[in-house]
Structures are given as structure tokens and as C-alpha cells.
Amino acid sequence: MEKINVGGQAVIEGVMMRAPRSVAIAVRRPDGEIVVRRELVVPLSERYPVVKLPVVRGAVALFSSLIIGIKALNFSANEAMTEEEKEGEKDKGKGELSSWAMAGTMTVAFGFGICLFFLFPLYLTKLMTPFIGSNNIIFNLVDGVIRVIVFLVYIWGISRMSDIQRVFQYHGAEHKSIFAFEAGEELSVENVRRYSRLHPRCGTSFLLIVMLVSIAVFSLIPKLWPFFFKAGSRVVLLPLIAGISYEFLKWSAKNDGHPLVRMIISPGLALQRLTTREPDDQQLEVAIRSMNEALEVNAGYADDRLVV
């Protein structure tokens, strides 16, 4: 089979897998049935060559992943409900999100992330100025340390929730399936089960890299800038930070056999011990189904069959 990059995301009672030209979401319903949604995806790089440029591709990947991820979560939340729960949601006028509702959800989620992980640490650091002084390097180091601490506390906090722990089990199933695929193994539960739940290209590792890269990037902001200018720069510079982080993640994944690289990526892998759990066989079945469906649609595109 042709070597292609496959990524994924855990969703509610399921897994979303993404191949270069396809997305598949597999969710186990309360009655035990696995339901699948498959989509053909035409990469933006085929329409806009500028998207292939280093750094630019990382920023685009971040925002496209957000869109696909929220759609996948919406689908999984709907399918994971019992029929009684679905009827109750219909009576309330709720269902799958419209395009406008999806855009609103993304805006709220993105805004929450910006406020919690970028603006809140900046504000705390500003309050600490009388104690840490006005040195630009020290200011941004303290800001960065607070940002990382907030991120780690947030991850630790949600990892204690029982519902999230099930999502983290599917996260582990996603990683194991990707590892097995990358090793050229037949995608069976027995084969997939043997692989690690910690993957160097995980989104958790990416977010930690974003936190660390932001320290270096924000240190370039002049210390004399007013607080609101500094706050605005956190938003404006985020695509650049995401792009740099993406390039580092791709490089480290290709060179993860080198001792120095393994040492550099070890914090991200350690953090995945919080964001993944060992999956059971039924969860592995869902991840494998999602992988196979995504690969089938992707192969159909290559064969000009476009079976979706």
C-alpha cells in the first residue's frame, strides 16, 4: 500500500480518521452498532499552491483541523445518544448544527482558548510586574511559564472527568491504529492492540509545542507596547506560531529515532499519558473501522472512482 500520512481525533464514543483526501468518522451507538460518515476532502494545496509553503501549511492545517474536528464531534454527539435522547433533543429544536451554528461554536471555542491560554497568563504576568521587573526577557519567560502551567492544569482537570476518560480511551485507540498502519500491519484488533498509545504526531504534543514556541515569538514584542497591543499580538501571531510548531512536529516525527530528538519530544509523549488511556477491544474495532473507511475513500479518489 502507498505510504500516506493519516491523522485522527477521538470523538464521543468514536474516532475520526483523516487521510490526504478523505475523512471518516466511526461511532458506536448505544445499541452496539458502528455507524460511519465518510467524506471526500480536496486538499486546499491543490487549489492554492501557496498553502504548500512551510509555516503557511501549518497555520492552514490548524484551522482546517478545527473545522473538521468540530463537525466530527457534532456528528458523534448526535449518534452516541439513545433514541429517547434524540427525540428529546428534537423536541427542544436541537439537532446537528447548521453552518451558522457551527461557525458560532468555533468562534466561541477559539475565543475561549485564546482567553484562557494567552490573554489570562499575560494579564497575570502584568499584575506581577512590580515583583519581576520590566525586563522583556523575564516578562515573557514568566508569561510563558504561566501559560504552560495553565495548559497542564487544564489537561489534568479534564482528564479527571469520567466522560472525558472514555474519549481518551478512543484517543489511545486512534494512536494504536495509526501506528499499526504506519508499520504496514494488517488492521486487526490483535495487531493494533500491541502498539503504543503514545504517538509523536499527536495533537497534544502539538499544543505543548505551541505553548513553548510562543515564548520565543512573544519575546520579540517590544516591552514598551501597551497591554492591549500585547494582547492583540497574541491573536495576530498565533498563525505564525502554529506554522512554526507544525514544521517542528513534522521534523521531529521523521527523526524520532535520533536520541536528541527523542529527548526533545519526550515532554509531549509524557503529556499523552494524561490525554490517552488504554482502549478496550470494542474501541479498537471502532478506530480500525474509521481507518479502513478513510483509506477506502482515499483510494477511491486515486482511482477516479470517488466512492463516498
Give the span between the Cα atoms of 173 and 27, in whole angstroms.
Answer: 13
Strands (E), the chain: 7-11, 14-19, 22-28, 34-40
Distance CA 105, CA 80 (A): 19
Distance CA 299, CA 1 (A): 10
- 232 vs 274: CA distance, rounded Å: 31
Dig out the grid coordinates for 214 from the structure.
510562543
The string of pLDDT tens digits covering residues 119-174 is 999 999 999 988 888 788 888 899 999 999 999 999 999 999 988 999 999 999 99
- Is residue 299 predicted with pLDDT exceeding 50? yes
| DSSP letter assigned to residue 264 | H
d(CA 19, CA 209): 23
* Contact (CB, 8 A) for 283 and 169: yes
State the chain's mean pLDDT as an integer.
87
Per residue in 211-250, pLDDT (tens digit) is 889 988 988 888 778 888 888 998 899 999 999 999 998 8
Q: Measured between alpha carbons, how far is 66 from 18 in angstroms, rounded to an integer?
A: 13
- Quote the CA–CA distance of 79 and 84 in Å, as a whole number: 12
Tally Cβ neighbours within 10 Å of residue 95.
12
In contact, 24 and 294? CB cutoff 8 Å: yes
- Dist. CA 35–CA 289, nearest whole Å: 10
Q: Name the least confident of 28-32, 60-64, 166-170.
A: 60-64
At residue 83, the pLDDT reads 61
Q: Which amino acid is present at 28?
A: R
Q: What is the distance in angstroms between the CA of the first residue and the CA of the last residue of the chain?
A: 20
CB count in 10 Å sphere of residue 236: 9
Closest CA to 17 of 68, 52, 58, 80: 68
Distance of CA 116 to the CA centre of its chain: 17
Q: Pick the more confident residue, 66 or 145.
A: 145
Q: Which three cell numbers stand for residue 46?
A: 491543490
Residue 306 scores a pLDDT above 60: no
Give me 71's grid cell. 463537525
Q: Are 164 and 204 in contact (CB under 8 A)?
A: no
Distance CA 177, CA 182 (A): 9
Residue 50 grid coordinates: 501557496
C-alpha distance from residue 23 to each of 18, 234, 292 (Å): 4, 31, 11
pLDDT score of 171:
97
